[in-house]
Amino acid sequence: MHDDRSITEHRLRRVLKERIKPAVHSRPVPLTVARWEAPGEPVPVAQGLAATYEPCATGASWGPAWGTTWFKVTGTVPAEWAGRTVEAVLDLGFDRMMPGFQCEGLVHRADGSEIKGLNPYNDWVRVADRAEGGERVEWYVEAASNPVLVEHTPTYEGDQRTSADQPLYRLARMDLTVFETEVWELVQDLEVLHDLMTQLGTDDARRYEILRAVDAALDAVDLGDVPGTAAAARACLTGVLAAPARASAHRISAVGHSHIDSAWLWPLRETVRKVARTSSNMVSLMDEHPEFVFAMSQAQQLDWIKTYRPELFERIKKKIADGQFVPVGGMWVESDTNMVGGEAMARQFLYGKKFFLDEFGIETHNVWLPDSFGYTAAMPQIVKLSGSTWFLTQKICWSQVNKFPHHTFWWEGIDGTRVFTHFPPVDTYNSDLGGAQLAHAARNYREKGRGSRSLVPFGWGDGGGGPTREHLARARRQRNLEGSPRVEIERPDAFFEKARAEYEDAPVWAGELYLELHRGTYTSQAKTKQGNRHSESLLREAELWAATAAVRVPGYAYPYEDLERIWKTVLLHQFHDILPGSSIAWVHREARETYRSVREELQGITLAAQTALAGEGGRELVFNCAPHTRRGIPAGGAGVPAEAGQPVTVEERHGGGHVLANGRLLVEIDGRGLVVSAYDLEADREAVAPGGAANLLQIHPDFPNMWDAWDIDAFYRNKVTDLVGLDAMEVTESGPSSVTVRVTRSFGSSTAVQSLTLRSGAKTLDIVTDVDWHETEKFLKAAFPLDVKAERSASETQFGHVYRATHTNTSWEAAKFEICAHRWIHAEEPGWGIALLNESTYGHDVTRDVRADGGQTTTVRLSLLRAPRYPDPETDQGAHTLRFSLAPGAGIGDAVREGHALNLPERVVTGAGPVAPLLTVDDDAVVVEAVKLAEDRGGDVIVRLYESRGGRARATLTPGFAVTAAVESDLLERPLAGSAVGALTPDGGVALTLRPFQILTVRLHRA
């Protein structure tokens, strides 16, 4: 037989595109259209309905960037259409290639209730299944003219303050039509068979069976009368569509989903509307398709619907009760997990799961994080303590170098906790359920022979409208189809239960899920990151002192509502495109303003609590919120500083510069203003590598291959400029308590002023760097070449630390050329180590070199600032203050202590006398992470603590108030079985036993 395969396949594509698809909506009758431009920001629906509309024609231009245009569409169903299915096609000017990244609309009835969203693949509205003729249509479309910002080129359209005001879109089509059901079904038949056919091998007989059936169907279609011949064409396809799948075919659990970034190339306020549009589409689709299941994560997004669209929220609640609309994830937002602090990560689950429980009575069991940029090794324990049992991610398929070896596996965290995890082999969280993607999922699946199933999230995301009726049609046809994986629409938990049942002994992956991409997100938008870190610290302070005052001071009211509201604000801004710095300028401008407000409010809450505790008096009280005693002030207490070390001295250095000493450290700053010696006098050991200079600012070119704000590519290291030019150096403070040397440098269009301070009694050199940054596509680092042979570095992460190799033996290690650390990073050889501490920096790199003398230099660098131009062309421009410290001779325990001290400054209040701690712990390895009152408003005290050094610990928690019982709890403050909390001792203490890195939440019932 002659090979006519390519001819038939080409014929199919053309006939589908040019004849059959256009015939789905026939007999178009134009609707009457009028418009009203909303001034400024979006208006309430009632205002849009009541506006004065002006006539508007199809083809008219509309919509300046970030504007809202209301369209009123009216019309009458022709009498001759009686009994036919009638739909309106409302095309706002969509580009079918970019669902989610352009204009969108929401259709309302005249009474203000929403009907459905309008999107590139969802531009229709059903008028009647069986029209009566003469029916009147009157709808109002709230249309958002969001600019297209996906070209990865610098643009000022990412902020309403700098965007242009010319119209962006042209109204394409506003028609009433007859919906030709049989034609639509023929389209679905042909598309599924085309996709399946092209995935089968050219030596597969099944491919040719489909080809011959398609050829016959195309022969049966009269191109001049597609509606009249569609049924005959479909009859030719019945046999090939009825052939069942092989028994061994891969099984796919298809879960409707629409990943909506809570902010990214649009501001937060637009996400509120995107969520409403997509959710209205979903409940409407559920009305027509009872088999449809849709999973939605991010409690924040459902809370927005509750606040701004209460009528839609009630429809969603009903669908949740029916089991079709499925809350997943258990988190307030799909947050970043690398940089979020430990307590904040716990609160993501506390407030996320609490919302689902309070609003819907649902306990979510899965953690749904498809798109975050890597996953902390602390996550498995946090997941388990939240009452969750499954974890899903997708993003690691983006890794540039190494292919992740598993799709279904047990993920083991730093404490040994394991969580059952799935990484869908379809390699997308926005599947179209097309044959190419399903075939890829089956081929790519790494568990063949042990497991047989994977999960596929399907639907257009980011405001693209979610799953469509076409997706459901594909799922129906591929439920049991020869040559295709078996597709079943079902809830995520059903998939996880089946996957675990067949693969209980799945392989184990221990440690972080490091994304070999998007490493620049540890550094971009420094002020957003600083605002997050400061807010986390301020929340710790506010809760500790408010809880202490609530227990100790009669009449003091714990600010439950204020703290919860602020926490949710901070959690929202930890979303994985806000905190990582990968959103448009508008998002980060608002974030900076929000963090300022958060800071002022939390400082007010803290001061009010401290003032209530201090009482009337003129005595200076120093409040210590850090989890360790410092300067004689116990953790969680206040008093007068009692400890002082040797006085600090400063001398001129031979050859230029200064020598600072305090009896514990001796620091030499040379004539270039660089630290050439940091000598640990107690250990008789030098920290700075021979011939090296620490606190060396270095600048690199920074022009990654694609994702500007997201990425740094390894080749940035090929070129470096050491900033050694000196404008000025002077001693600005010299006294027995501290000495400060100020160094000023200019480079490019920027300046850096560094203040290096050595304090009495301290074993840290504190460095404050004020940078007026005006570079473009540059990367600023601070280098510390250390005289230590370290095979690995330790980086603080949530509730512990993670080790990473300093060598590059394998591609896995080489790929980690930029790493994330929280308050500290540590390098050591047996018996002696060095910590580098920071107040708001997350990005670091660690390299090793062998010197001519045979010694090893381990260089630790902090990533201070970047200057990418997309999506915010002014990223990080302006003034920054960055604080970090060098701690020679520090062990892990010292790093933990000093990291907290740097991030939790002392507060001075005048009052009557010392304030005793609300509670104490007698082992410094056990760190108190949070002290608060219980969420149920019952007055119990919640204490969250963890073992911080990676070893076992026994400690006694001693409350400074009467306690009737101490109960180990989960993150939602519910009792846990198998407690690590002992019974109360006669003096009221609580015995604790912790394994390495264990998180322990203790609920103290007050007498």
Residue positions annotated with a catalytic role: 371
Q: Residue 210 and residue 52: Cα distance in Å, rounded?
A: 56
Helix ranges (DSSP H) in 788-891: 811-814
Q: Residue 280 and residue 308: Cα distance in Å, rounded?
A: 13
Residues listed for the chain? 1007
DSSP per position, 228-292 = HHHHHHHHTTHHHHHPPPPTT--EEEEEEE----SSSSS-HHHHHHHHHHHHHHHHHHHHH-TT-
Q: Residue 752 and residue 770: Cα distance in Å, rounded?
A: 6
Is residue 154 within 8 Å of residue 870, measured between CB atoms?
Answer: yes
878-888 vs 832-838, strand pairing mode:
antiparallel
Helix ranges (DSSP H) in 108-180: none
Q: Please name the amino acid found at residue 732.
A: T
Place of tokens 């920001």: 41
DSSP per position, 107-121 = EEETTS-EEEEEBTT
Is residue 885 within 8 Å of residue 839, measured between CB atoms?
Answer: no
Q: Residue 196 and residue 218: Cα distance in Å, rounded?
A: 17
C-alpha pair distances (Å), 252 with each of 264, 408, 440, 949: 30, 13, 12, 43
Spacing of C-alpha 541 from chain mean position = 25
Contacts of 343 (CB under 8 A, 6+ apart): 536, 539, 540, 929, 930, 944
- Which region, left, alpha or beta, applies to residue 949 given φ > 0 means left and ψ of -120 to 50 means alpha? alpha
DSSP per position, 549-581 = HHHHSTTPPP-HHHHHHHHHHHHHTTBTTTTTT
Q: Please name the amino acid found at residue 162.
A: T
Place of tokens 């036993």: 993
Coil, helix or strand for 380?
helix
Closest CA to 68 of 106, 97, 101, 28: 106
Burial code of 765-794, b = ≥16 C-beta within 10 A, e = fewer?
bbbbbebebebbebbbbbbbbbbbbbebbb
Q: Residue 919 and residue 933: Cα distance in Å, rounded?
A: 13
Number of helices (H) and strands (E) in the chain: give both, helices first.
19, 53
- Whether a cis peptide bond, with omega within 30° of 0, leads into 871 is yes
Structure tokens at 798: 């949530």
Q: Residue 432 and residue 324: Cα distance in Å, rounded?
A: 19
Q: Residue 659 and residue 468: Cα distance in Å, rounded?
A: 70
Q: Please name the amino acid found at residue 634.
A: P
DSSP state at residue 19: I
Q: Residue 198 and residue 221: Cα distance in Å, rounded?
A: 22
Spacing of C-alpha 565 from chain mean position = 19
Is residue 904 within 8 Å of residue 797, measured between CB atoms?
Answer: no
Structure tokens at 482: 């020869």
Q: At what angle do helices 342-360 and 526-552 cross, to 10 degrees?
A: 70
Query: In whole angstroms, how large is the CA radius of gyration of the chain?
Result: 31
